[in-house]
Structure 1
Amino acid sequence: MTANAMRVLVCDEPGRLTATTRPRPEDKPGHLRVQIAAIGICGTDYHIYGGNQPYLAYPRVMGHELSARAMADSTDGRIRRGDLVVVNPYLTCGTCNACSIGKPNCCENIAVLGVHTDGGMCEEIVVPEGNLYPANDLTPKAAAMVEFLAIGAHGVRRSALAEATSALIVGAGPIGVGAALFASIAGARVVLRDTSANRLALAKAIVPSATTELVSEAQPAVYETVFDATGNIDAMNAGLKWLAHGGSYVLLSLVKGDLKFADPEFHKRETTLFASRNALKADFEHVMDCMARGLVPVEAIGTHRTTLEGAVEDLPKWAADRGTVVKALIEL
């Protein structure tokens, strides 16, 4: 391998991964070069591998849950060479309506690393300085978990969940577990529901204060806030029945399909409906603060690990058996 080449994992097409080399990225004004330390494998990555992600073209370097080491000082002095950083993977335009009102998480022209543009399953990337947050005393493993946990934290913050109120999270995958964790930290009485006993058992180890239960049609609508994290349009359409009158329904999932609610059911509850997309800097900072305070069980969340080359075989296995995986990481 030449000095200008780096290792990279490429999804060439659905169902095909290749560990290869590519030229190192070029420097850009206002950007900082970072050396990748750890990469969380996300449901989006599994969807890309499976050919079920609508927003990208192949071949694609995946990876948007990233921790990295700065390879130079930032121009504003926040980051020094060698510092561990958390990468915010949402590249935004800064000029659209969403960006102008402080909501770059839903920028009209957003490009997410690893989805709309090549991501971090490689040795180095070049990222806008403003998208890098000092990780302080976090480990590389913990720092690579911040982004996915921030999605759940953002949904909880967006819902204005009140202390001592009831919250139902439907879907015990990583995003649902993150939402359950931060709803619990906010002081809610949390119930985490799924169709898989294995996923619920894993979730209980991470959020021991939550009540876990298998989905049943007989369960009543008694929850003041319901979060959907299933990634299933049928479940999203059905979740309203578990919402108490006067409650809020928060959709963390993003899937193909149409939302369809019976208007009398939606209307009689005076339902507040929230879509929750990505996360904001404040959510990243909240997650990092909770990690620093020992409120996030990093070791229980990080259930699997591999290398960049090992992911060629491991990622397909985990994609086929996600009931035993909370968060898998590639460590460099």
Structure 2
Amino acid sequence: MKAVVYDQPRRFAVTEVADPHAGPGEVRLRVALAGVCGTDAHLHDGQFDPVYPLTPGHEIVGEVDEVGEGVTDLRAGQRVVLDNMQSCGTCSSCRRARPAYCAHLVAQGVNAPGGFAQYIVAPAGKCHPADDLAPDVAVLTEPTACVMHGLDVLGLPPGSDVLVFGAGPTGLLLAQLLRHAGASRVTVAAPTAGKLEIAARHGADETVRMDRADPEAAVARLRELAPEGFDVVVDATGAVGVLEQCMPLTRDGGTVFVYGMTDEADRLTVSPYEVFRRELVIKGSFSQAYSFDRALQALRTGRVVADGIITHTFALDDYADALAALHDRSCVKAVVRP
């Protein structure tokens, strides 16, 4: 089969590798779509603990192609989405309901073969039937599951006034689910007008364009919307320059929610006195846990609307272009169709 294979940071090839086969308790999937995520850009640079040789791709929808011994609840030809994370269930982190910090974590697309390939083998129990969803909707399950977990961590008080920085895929998903989680108002701030239009179409109450040449105008507008600050300010960009704007725009007693993934070497200066004096809360959210089923249900019921999020589709041979699309302001979400 053909797959993207890295042998070191920033060096990959689209090459022929041996076809994988399903073992006991496993299925082989013919990959229909695999989403391109900002995490893949970090993996490209050697961050996020990749294991080589590496085939990335962790947002996967596919068709069951081969069924291993003992698998009775999946059938050939069935469309499924894959929860790419496998935890041991017995280490101290798993026993504390923190499977993403499992001491023996297997994360397909990070330290095990992922979905930027024609086929992938996975445990049957990690494959969720999705025949009722179109592939370009189902492929959003994993990022939606991450947002679901983020909301679990955030613990949003009902009636909160929320600001979301960023209108990429995660920002758009966050804005939608924050509304259903009880926010009284969701404001989305981002530099790209087209993405803000999608945010408004999906239910954002206010949108503010952050002109990179004149950010102060946008900050002034945000202060006008919330003179005392927002109850919750979410960074979904992973940009330190944006994170620096979060605390000043958070009201006393409010929460800064770090959702976007920065580079490992990035540093943010925070005044501990301000956190102390203003009783601020700073929270972070990593990956997903116990949220795949809920993500699928949100997509099925229309609580999460996929329309307009996927804008670019690439062949496997064009993986370099798919990575480059992450930095293209016209691209909301790119997917690879092996």
Q: Does TM, normalized by the shorter one, top 0.5?
A: yes
The answer for the alignment partner of 2:213 in structure 1 is: none
Distance 1:83 1:56 in 2: 30
Percent identical: 29
- Which one-letter code corresponds to 2:128 in the other structure? Y
Aligned: 1:295 with 2:303: yes
The answer for the alignment partner of 1:200 in structure 2 is: 196
1:145 to 124, 130, 140: 140
Q: Where does the alignment leave 5 or more consecutive residues of structure 2 unmatched?
A: 211-215
Q: CA deviation at 1:68?
A: 1.5
The answer to whether the 8 A contact 2:39-2:261 is kept is: no
Aligned: 1:246 with 2:253: yes
The answer to whether the 8 A contact 2:233-2:246 is kept is: yes
The answer to whether the 8 A contact 1:290-1:296 is kept is: yes
* TM-score for the superposition, normalised by structure 2: 0.85
- Which one-letter code corresponds to 2:96 in the other structure? I
Could you report, residue by residue, the CA deviation over 1:163-220 in whole angstroms, capped at 9, with x for unpaired residues? 3321111122222221112112223111111244444334334x23331113444343
The answer for the alignment partner of 1:261 in structure 2 is: 270
Q: Which moved more, 1:105-114 or 1:31-40?
A: 105-114
SS of equivalent to 2:313 = strand
Distance 2:69 2:156 in 1: 37
Distance 2:25 2:16 in 1: 26
Q: CA deviation at 1:22?
A: 0.5
Residue-pair matches, total:
322
The answer to whether the 8 A contact 1:26-1:126 is kept is: yes
SS of equivalent to 1:80 = coil
The answer to whether the 8 A contact 2:84-2:107 is kept is: yes
| Correspondence 1:87-166 to 2 at 5 A | 87-166=82-161
The answer to whether the 8 A contact 1:148-1:175 is kept is: yes
The answer to whether the 8 A contact 2:153-2:285 is kept is: yes
Aligned: 1:63 with 2:72: no
Q: Where does the alignment leave 5 or more consecutive residues of structure 1 unmatched?
A: 1-5
SS of equivalent to 1:299 = coil
The change in CA–CA distance for 1:87 and 1:311 in structure 2 (over 3 A counts) is same
Q: Which moved more, 1:129-138 or 1:10-19?
A: 10-19
* TM-score for the superposition, normalised by structure 1: 0.86
RMSD in angstroms over aligned alpha carbons? Answer: 2.5
The answer to whether the 8 A contact 2:315-2:337 is kept is: yes
The change in CA–CA distance for 1:97 and 1:235 in structure 2 (over 3 A counts) is farther
Distance 1:233 1:29 in 2: 46
Distance 1:85 1:74 in 2: 18
- Which one-letter code corresponds to 2:236 in the other structure? A
The change in CA–CA distance for 1:32 and 1:276 in structure 2 (over 3 A counts) is same
Q: CA deviation at 1:237?
A: 4.3
Q: Which moved more, 1:95-104 or 1:195-204?
A: 195-204
| Correspondence 1:1-332 to 2 at 5 A | 6-49=1-44, 51=45, 53-70=47-64, 71-72=66-67, 75=70, 77-188=72-183, 189-205=185-201, 207-215=202-210, 216=216, 217-218=219-220, 219-220=222-223, 222-255=229-262, 256=264, 257-281=266-290, 283-312=291-320, 314-321=321-328, 323-332=329-338
- Which one-letter code corresponds to 1:328 in the other structure? A
Distance 1:212 1:328 in 2: 23
Q: CA deviation at 1:41?
A: 0.9
Q: CA deviation at 1:73?
A: 7.0
The answer to whether the 8 A contact 1:229-1:253 is kept is: yes
Could you report, residue by residue, the CA deviation over 1:238-291 in whole angstroms, capped at 9, with x for unpaired residues? 41222122222221123223443212221233223322111123x222221121
The change in CA–CA distance for 1:260 and 1:97 in structure 2 (over 3 A counts) is farther
Could you report, residue by residue, the CA deviation over 1:208-233 in whole angstroms, capped at 9, with x for unpaired residues? 33311134443435211221111123
- Which one-letter code corresponds to 2:47 in the other structure? Q
Distance 1:308 1:40 in 2: 12
Could you report, residue by residue, the CA deviation over 1:1-32 in whole angstroms, capped at 9, with x for unpaired residues? xxxxx121234555555322110224444333
